[in-house]
Amino acid sequence: MVDLTTRNFARNLDKNDALATFREEFYMKPDSIYMDGNSLGLLSKRAERTLLESLEDWKHLGIDGWTQGTHPWFFMSERLGEMMAPLVGAFPEEVIVTGSTTVNLHQLVATFYKPNGKRTKILADELNFPSDIYALQSQLRIHGYDPEEHLIRTKSKDGRYIEEDDIIAAMSEEVALIILPTIYYRSGQILDMKRLTEEAHKRGIVIGFDGCHSVGAIPHSFSEWDVDFAYWCNYKHLNAGPGSVAALFVNKKYFGILPGLAGWFGSNKEKQFDMEHTFFPAGSAGAFQIGTPHVLSTAPLLGSLEMFAEAGIENIRVKSLSMTNYLIDLIEKELCDFEFIIGSPREGLRRGAHVSLEHKEAARICKALKENGVIPDFRAPNIIRLAPIALYNTYEEVWMVVQILKSIMRDKQYEKYKNEREVVA
């Protein structure tokens, strides 16, 4: 009988890994195991190359870099939208790389939240990322509504998951707009986006999704599912760098409507430099851009997306699921004596690309992991998130992380730390 707890088992999995060569594309810190790619992806050599190419364009071309050079800046956001569209199951013109996650959410809510009669409420959930909730509260105040009354947050029964049935039950005649994550950042639960979209539309409600924890990790079919809009960051699974420019999807059925927040770069490119005071929106998702693109925070995505096109999102998902399954199996066998709770779904169809481990000493354990060369992610009050990334982590690293955790717990190495988070958790 094969023993999955042995190092040789992990090494054999690595030998059969069809994506193994992509690891060589990334800058890996020696004597360190990076398990935090669901918060900030690592730098790849290709992302570095395309950033440096854009710097060279600036150096040698000056303002002519907007229309000339290796990566003309004027069209960069649209080009990247086309490259990214297959990752979210969209038509090329439905995706644009622009803004930041929260700015894009403000733009989309300003566009699609149209309170009318008794339909004045926004439906979200209590496990959503705080920034989304802040934005929704702000938008409600702008419209003259009290967030305490007009922002509905679907409850979780256990603090980990939210059932689709509970969300659907909250889709009342008072709801004008629904905003939900594709994946919950704590547990890694994937919501059934197709079902939720169908149920929202049956009730005449517009629905949008936050894809920050899913784009680049799991396949999507936004166009096929008739999702109204979505938005996401590109610095997690897409490895575009800290603070990189985000992206959004708008269903093509909305092309031609005015964005809620109109701006210079949302213009039809043929009209943009006519310098008129009449706004002519682009006939694509590009209309929802606001300001001039942050070129040097966008350029790394060009190189990163080359790798995703070569690897294929379906293949990435297969390996990701295999790695998180392996991690869960090892945790259950090797850490069963140390009071850990697996806070992520066991079913692959419901689990994203990370595993949440719950423990009352989680903050201290994370600090001990870092001392031992493992980079995890802590989420208050008690979650250790471990994300083996398909493009650059190995099965052997997954095995090593569990062995290190076992030593930390057995020897109580965590006791020398305070059980509180750092400034950046």
Q: How far apart are CA 371 and CA 398, in angstroms?
A: 17
All residues at 6 or more sequence positions from 255 whose CB lies less than 8 Å from its CB, including other chains: 93, 283, 284, 285, 287
What does the pLDDT average to over 104-127?
98
240, pLDDT greater than 90: yes
Task: Give the pLDDT score at 133.
Answer: 98
Q: How far apart are CA 399 and CA 401, in angstroms?
A: 6
Helix (H, G, I), strand (E, B) or coil at 394: coil
264, pLDDT greater than 80: yes
Enter the pTM of the model: 0.96
Angle (CA) 392 366 390, round 5°: 15
**Looking up tokens 């889709």, which residue turns up?**
171
Quote the distance between the C-alpha of residue 281 and its chain's center.
27
Percent of the chain predicted with pLDDT > 90: 96
Q: What is the DSSP letter of 218?
A: B
Average pLDDT taken over every residue of the chain? 97
Residue 245's nearest CA partner among 308, 304, 306, 294 is: 294
Which domains does the chain carry? Answer: 7-31+312-416 (3.90.1150.10), 49-310 (3.40.640.10)
Helix (H, G, I), strand (E, B) or coil at 5: coil
Helix axes 395-411, 313-334, angle to 10 degrees: 30
Residue 241's nearest CA partner among 382, 37, 96 is: 37
Q: How far apart are CA 336 and CA 415, in angstroms?
A: 19
- The H or E element containing residue 283 is none
pLDDT grade for 315, boundaries at 50, 70 and 90? very high
Cβ burial of 410 (10 Å; 0-12, 13-18, 19+) is exposed
Task: Give the pLDDT score at 2.
Answer: 78
Give the tens place of pLDDT for each residue, 7-51: 999 999 999 999 999 999 999 999 999 999 999 999 999 999 999
Give the tens place of pLDDT for each residue, 193-216: 999 999 999 999 999 999 999 999
CB atoms within 10 A of CB 57: 21
- The H or E element containing residue 290 is none
pLDDT grade for 424, boundaries at 50, 70 and 90? low
Helix axes 313-334, 295-311, angle to 10 degrees: 80
Task: Give the pLDDT score at 423.
Answer: 63
Q: How far apart are CA 129 and CA 390, in angstroms?
A: 24
What does the pLDDT average to over 157-186?
97
Give the tens place of pLDDT for each residue, 329-369: 999 999 999 999 999 999 999 999 999 999 999 999 999 99
Q: How far apart are CA 41 and CA 353, in angstroms?
A: 13
| CA within 13 Å, CB half, 13 | 24
Cβ burial of 256 (10 Å; 0-12, 13-18, 19+) is exposed
200 versus 1: the higher-pLDDT residue is 200
- C-alpha to C-alpha distances, 220 to 38, 45, 225, 299, 373, nearest whole angstrom: 17, 27, 9, 24, 34
What does the pLDDT average to over 316-328?
98
Task: Give the pLDDT score at 234.
Answer: 98
- C-alpha to C-alpha distances, 301 to 44, 216, 230, 304, nearest whole angstrom: 10, 12, 19, 5
What does the pLDDT average to over 79-102?
98
115: left (phi over 0), alpha (psi -120 to 50) or beta: beta
Quote the distance between the C-alpha of residue 186 and its chain's center.
12
425, pLDDT greater than 90: no
Do 33 and 401 contact (CB within 8 A), yes or no?
Answer: yes
232, pLDDT greater than 90: yes
Cis upstream peptide for 381 (omega within 30°):
yes
**Looking up tokens 């440096």, which residue turns up?**
52
Quote the distance between the C-alpha of residue 327 and its chain's center.
21
All residues at 6 or more sequence positions from 130 whose CB lies less than 8 Å from its CB, including other chains: none
pLDDT grade for 53, boundaries at 50, 70 and 90? very high
Helix (H, G, I), strand (E, B) or coil at 53: helix
